[in-house]
Amino acid sequence: MSAETPVQSAGTFTRLRLRFRAWRGRRPFWAGLFTLLGGLPIAYFPYATLKLGTMSIAMATTAGAGSLIIGVLLFTLGLTMWFQQATRIFAGVAAIVLALVSLVVSNIGGFILGFLFALIGGALAVSWAPGAPPRPQPVDEHGTQGGAPHGADPDTAILRPVTDEPAPYEAKESGRDGSSDRTPESAWAGGDDANGGYRVG
């Protein structure tokens, strides 16, 4: 082993983690995961044999086949949420219905565990929506996006220091030559016009 092996393994792990993060963000990942987890106890407990000391407890009933079918369907719906995002609403509604049916068919929904997981997974699948792609920002004259130079934080702003002296009042000029379109008060205050010496407008 060389000294560069840990660095290369760390780089590979980082790349795989980023790929998985990007893959997870494009689909209802948690909805599919909860649905998969919901199908496991529903299908497992009717066929499991629990031992308490020397006593064996079998949960198998006449509804064991129904529990197996519900568990397999929930497992399939969880995979469908991952790889067929267009059918996520149908898969979510079907997962909720199967979770409710498992309360009666499969030992109270796999001892409530499978029921809760499948119900949460179905609700997450129905409420999930794909995110909007980021909009490209315009490029300014310096060749940078967002109007901020490289290495600068676009959220920061340059502010003036707070002082006790009031800022000088600067009147905005109306025209380029400094002329104003306002009529001086002396031109109409003492005049005798049709409005009785008062200007309107």
Residues in the chain: 201
Quote the pLDDT of residue 7: 45
CB neighbours (10 Å) of residue 15? Answer: 10
Q: What are 16-26's pLDDT values in tens digits?
A: 988 988 888 88
Quote the pLDDT of residue 93: 94
Q: What are 14-64's pLDDT values in tens digits?
A: 889 889 888 888 889 999 999 999 999 888 877 777 677 777 666 655 567
Distance CA 107, CA 67 (A): 8
Share of the chain above pLDDT 70, in %: 56
Whether 151 contacts 158, CB under 8 Å: no
Structure tokens at 22: 């990007």
Distances (CA, A) of 99 to 26, 36, 66, 126, 163: 25, 12, 12, 14, 66
List, for the chain, all residue ranges whose pLDDT scores fall below the cut of 50.
Answer: 1, 4-7, 151, 201
Which among 46, 45, 33, 27 has a CA at the least distance from the CA of 95? 33
Which residues, 6 or more positions from 150, have their beta carbon under 8 angstroms from its beta carbon? 144
Quote the pLDDT of residue 109: 80
Quote the pLDDT of residue 55: 74
Distance CA 42, CA 107 (A): 8
